[in-house]
């Protein structure tokens, strides 16, 4: 079934932008703007095929924290051995809707699995061939932008998109051949280009990337670096929610790129991936998340060239770490973090790429069971980075990050509980001396998450479900203690300030 919008949402042409989506009546902050049950195409990434339900995108990673005690399991498709399902009902819906057309092909290719964009275009071709696609679904898809001319032009120039057009050609050949379609290769190339330009990343409740989807309706949303809306996945269903009040007849926008990057980097990303120059109010005024790009630096005598050098060197080390062994990864990322420390007052902790390097460091330490180090980095982001980048306390990304920290802190406590012989020292590390009453912390974070859910995600979202599914933390009163979130919060903030760079 093609998507249908609520009656207030309409499409209009905007000079220099093409089509865009508008609302005919005013929308409040934190409202559901529209919901798409299942976009036209949805495929888990190759890395997640083994751990994700192919139909509803329930993600069951192998390394779930121990306190979660998750008993849900995925069953593989006996036909292709490539995809998995969380239930019979997901399996039969998937089979009837799309998997029956591709199962044999995927099975023949197994253990090789084509990249997600190839699988996506192949599925579309097979559905079209089997008449399992309505005219409006196909026509809506063909109305999306493909930017083939730009891709080709940049390719002949050896410009930014050189590799992208080459990739499109290779992936199109694969989709064309595997699907056995009678459509021309030129059409398949334009389908591949449309998929590249109009796809969205499917994420779970904690913001982890699970796959790619293409919704012809959501593909009508244009970009702004100060977007009025945000898209949120609940499994494979996609909702668009408002981030602030939107007046009647205003355009609805989302962000295509990481809005925490400084203006010049966002502009580069948007030009090279989506072929436009962003002229939003943030780009025009050199603002990142509403903050000046290089605020105090120039005042304090650090040239903008120095800032750019630091940024580039941080990114270089971060990308080197991407290919390194786990031990070297930490070394390289620590080195990258060290770069900014001498300029801390000038190069704030929230400036790109420092926060994303810190996130990687936190995750690596968590995976290595260094719970206290991971917690300190999470706290640093919670107190000093996220409120700057997402000033709205219920911003879904900010809350996803609180949720991840909440899980980490629960795991830390679990470890304190199971290894009391270490006196919790090994587990609690530098945090030990702050004498934190973790049960109160749990309660405080639970309150914050619960308060943010209605506006940030909606009470029926899979984020809300995932949060409710976690075993509730114990009440401090049960152990004769008083809940003192304010006091504990102050201790945590002090620890985050004193311990982490
Ligand atoms: C996903 S589509 C959005 C819908 C598109 N405008 C259409 O007509 O179908 C992405 C493309 O829209 C255009 N676009 C999106 N946001 C824009 C913006 N802020 N300024 C100019 N063009 C924009 C670019 O061509 C981009 O590659």
DSSP 424-465: THHHHGGGGGG---HHHHHHHHHHHHHHHHHHHT-TTSHHHH
- Residue 476 resides in a domain: yes
Q: What single DSSP character describes residue 160? A: T
Which of 40, 267, 275, 276 most suits a substitution to test ligand 1, by most atoms within 8 Å of the C-beta? 276
Model confidence band, residue 347 (pLDDT cutoffs 50, 70, 90): confident
Q: What percent of the chain has pLDDT over 90?
A: 80
Which residue has the CA at smallest separation from atom 13 of ligand 1? 17
Which residue has the CA at smallest separation from atom 15 of ligand 1? 222
Ligand 1 centroid to residue 20 C-alpha, Å: 8
Same domain, 318 and 419: no
Same domain, 76 and 176: yes
Which residue has the CA at smallest separation from atom 19 of ligand 1? 223
Ligand 1 centroid to residue 349 C-alpha, Å: 32
Which of 274, 277, 279 most suits a substitution to test ligand 1, by most atoms within 8 Å of the C-beta? 274
Dihedral through CA 309, CA 310, CA 315, CA 316, nearest 10?
A: 60
Give the pocket of ligand 1 (CB within 6 Å): 16-20, 144-145, 197-198, 219-220, 222-224, 274-276, 278
Closest atom of ligand 1 to 144 CA is 9
Q: How far apart are CA 257 and CA 126, in angstroms?
A: 31
Ligand 1 centroid to residue 458 C-alpha, Å: 28
Which residue has the CA at smallest separation from atom 7 of ligand 1? 19
pLDDT of residue 70: 73
- Domain of 155 in residue numbering reads as 40-203
Which residue has the CA at smallest separation from atom 27 of ligand 1? 274
Is the ipTM value over 0.90, yes or no? yes
Model confidence band, residue 149 (pLDDT cutoffs 50, 70, 90): very high
Same domain, 313 and 176: no
Ligand 1 centroid to residue 270 C-alpha, Å: 10
Same domain, 349 and 402: no
Closest atom of ligand 1 to 219 CA is 1
Same domain, 411 and 443: yes
Encoded tokens for 429: 């590390």
Total count of domains within the chain = 3
Same domain, 467 and 342: no
- Residue 26 resides in a domain: no
Which residue has the CA at smallest separation from atom 22 of ligand 1? 17
Domain boundary among 335, 366, 397: 366
Ligand 1 centroid to residue 257 C-alpha, Å: 13
Domain boundary among 307, 332, 366: 366
371 sits in which H/E element: helix 371-380
Encoded tokens for 65: 């924290």
Same domain, 71 and 91: yes
- Residue 11 resides in a domain: no
pLDDT of residue 424: 59
pLDDT of residue 161: 47
Give the mean pLDDT of the chain: 92
Question: CB-based contacts of 79: which residues, under 8 Å, 6+ apart?
Answer: 103, 104, 107
- Residue 175 resides in a domain: yes
Which residue has the CA at smallest separation from atom 26 of ligand 1? 274
Domain boundary among 203, 229, 258: 203
pLDDT of residue 65: 67
Dihedral through CA 137, CA 18, CA 200, CA 167, nearest 10?
A: 90
Q: How far apart are CA 489 and CA 497, in angstroms?
A: 12
Closest atom of ligand 1 to 19 CA is 8
Q: Are 440 and 483 in contact (CB under 8 A)?
A: yes
Which of 222, 228, 284 most suits a substitution to test ligand 1, by most atoms within 8 Å of the C-beta? 222
Which of 134-148, 426-440, 445-459 has the lowest average pLDDT? 426-440
Length of the chain: 501
Model confidence band, residue 14 (pLDDT cutoffs 50, 70, 90): very high
Nearest CA to 241 out of 258, 259, 221, 257 is that of: 221
SS3 161: coil
Q: In Å, what is the CA distance from 405 to each residue of 53, 354, 398?
A: 25, 18, 11
Same domain, 390 and 481: yes
- Residue 159 resides in a domain: yes
pLDDT of residue 66: 65
Ligand 1 centroid to residue 389 C-alpha, Å: 24
Q: In Å, what is the CA distance from 279 to each residue of 147, 223, 264?
A: 19, 10, 12
Pairing of strands 222-223, 251-254: parallel
Model confidence band, residue 43 (pLDDT cutoffs 50, 70, 90): very high
Model confidence at 462: pLDDT above 90: no
Which of 10, 11, 15, 18 most suits a substitution to test ligand 1, by most atoms within 8 Å of the C-beta? 18
User: DSSP letters along 321-368, please?
Assistant: HHTS-HHHHHHHHHHHHHHHGGGTTTS-TTSTTHHHHHHHHHHHHHHT
The residue that leads in pLDDT, 65 or 255, is 255
* Buried b / exposed e along 406-429 (16+ C-beta atoms within 10 A): bbbbbbbbbbbeeeeeeebebbbb
Distance of CA 164 to the CA centre of its chain: 22
What is the Cβ-side half-sphere exposure of residue 276, based on CA atoms within 13 angstroms? 18
Same domain, 348 and 412: no
Distance of CA 462 to the CA centre of its chain: 15
Ligand 1 centroid to residue 98 C-alpha, Å: 29
Nearest CA to 97 out of 108, 85, 107, 109 is that of: 85
Ligand 1 centroid to residue 224 C-alpha, Å: 10
Q: How far apart are CA 461 and CA 471, in angstroms?
A: 18
Per the listing, tokens 């029926």 go with: 460
Nearest CA to 438 out of 415, 416, 413 is that of: 413
- Residue 34 resides in a domain: no
Q: How far apart are CA 258 and CA 253, in angstroms?
A: 14
Which residue has the CA at smallest separation from atom 23 of ligand 1? 17
Task: Check the CA dihedral 128-133-170-184 and report its sign.
Answer: positive
Task: Check the CA dihedral 475-480-484-489 and report its sign.
Answer: negative
Q: Are 413 and 438 in contact (CB under 8 A)?
A: yes
pTM for this one?
Answer: 0.93
- Residue 247 resides in a domain: no
Same domain, 339 and 374: no
Same domain, 450 and 479: yes
Max Cα–Cα distance, the chain, nearest Å:
73
Model confidence band, residue 154 (pLDDT cutoffs 50, 70, 90): confident
- Residue 31 resides in a domain: no
Average pLDDT rounded to a whole number, residues 467-476: 88
Which of 12, 17, 150, 161 most suits a substitution to test ligand 1, by most atoms within 8 Å of the C-beta? 17
Which of 26-30, 206-210, 408-412 has the lowest average pLDDT? 206-210
Q: How far apart are CA 77 and CA 457, in angstroms?
A: 32
Same domain, 355 and 373: no
């Amino acid at each position: 079934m093609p998507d249908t919008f609520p009656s207030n949402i309409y499409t209009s042409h905007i000079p220099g932008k093409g089509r865009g989506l508008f609302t005919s009546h005013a929308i409040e902050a934190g409202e559901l703007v529209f919901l798409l049950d299942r976009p036209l195409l949805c495929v888990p990434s190759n890395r997640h095929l083994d751990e994700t339900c192919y139909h509803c995108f329930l993600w069951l990673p192998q390394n779930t924290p121990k306190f979660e005690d998750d008993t849900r399991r995925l069953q593989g498709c006996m036909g292709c051995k490539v995809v998995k399902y969380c239930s019979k009902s997901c399996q039969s819906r998937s089979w009837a809707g799309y998997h029956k057309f591709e199962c044999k092909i995927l099975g023949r290719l197994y253990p090789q699995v084509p990249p997600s964009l190839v699988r996506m275009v192949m599925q579309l071709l097979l559905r079209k061939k089997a008449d399992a696609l309505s005219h409006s679904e196909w026509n809506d898809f063909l109305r999306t932008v493909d930017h083939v001319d730009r891709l080709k032009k940049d390719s002949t120039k050896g410009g930014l998109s050189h590799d992208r057009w080459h990739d499109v050609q290779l992936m199109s050949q694969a989709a064309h051949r595997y699907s056995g379609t009678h459509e021309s290769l030129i059409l398949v190339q334009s389908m591949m280009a449309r998929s590249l330009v109009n796809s969205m990343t499917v994420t779970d409740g904690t913001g982890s990337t699970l796959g790619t989807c293409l919704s012809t309706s959501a593909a009508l949303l244009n970009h702004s670096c100060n977007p009025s809306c945000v898209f949120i996945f609940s499994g494979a269903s996609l909702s668009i929610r408002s981030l602030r009040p939107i007046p009647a007849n205003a355009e609805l926008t989302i962000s295509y790129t990481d809005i925490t990057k400084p203006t010049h980097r966002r502009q580069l990303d948007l030009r090279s991936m989506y072929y436009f120059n962003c002229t939003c109010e943030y780009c025009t005024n050199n603002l990142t998340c509403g903050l000046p790009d290089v605020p105090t630096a120039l005042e304090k005598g650090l040239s903008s060239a120095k800032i750019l050098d630091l940024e580039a060197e941080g990114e270089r080390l971060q990308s080197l770490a991407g290919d390194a062994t786990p031990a070297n990864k930490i070394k390289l990322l620590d080195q990258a973090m060290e770069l900014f420390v001498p300029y801390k007052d000038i190069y704030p902790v929230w400036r790109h790429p420092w926060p994303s390097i810190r996130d990687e460091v936190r995750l690596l330490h968590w995976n290595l069971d260094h719970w206290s180090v991971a917690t300190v980095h999470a706290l640093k982001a919670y107190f000093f980075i996220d409120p700057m980048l997402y000033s709205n306390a219920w911003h879904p990304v900010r809350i996803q990050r609180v949720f991840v920290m909440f899980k980490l802190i629960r795991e830390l406590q679990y470890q304190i509980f199971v290894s009391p012989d270490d006196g919790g020292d090994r587990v609690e590390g530098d945090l030990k001396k702050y004498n934190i009453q973790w049960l109160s912390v749990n309660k405080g974070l639970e309150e914050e998450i619960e308060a943010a859910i209605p506006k940030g995600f909606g009470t029926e979202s899979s984020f809300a479900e995932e949060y409710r599914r976690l075993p509730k933390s114990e009440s401090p009163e049960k152990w004769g203690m008083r809940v003192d979130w304010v006091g504990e919060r102050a201790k945590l903030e002090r620890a985050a300030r004193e311990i982490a760079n």
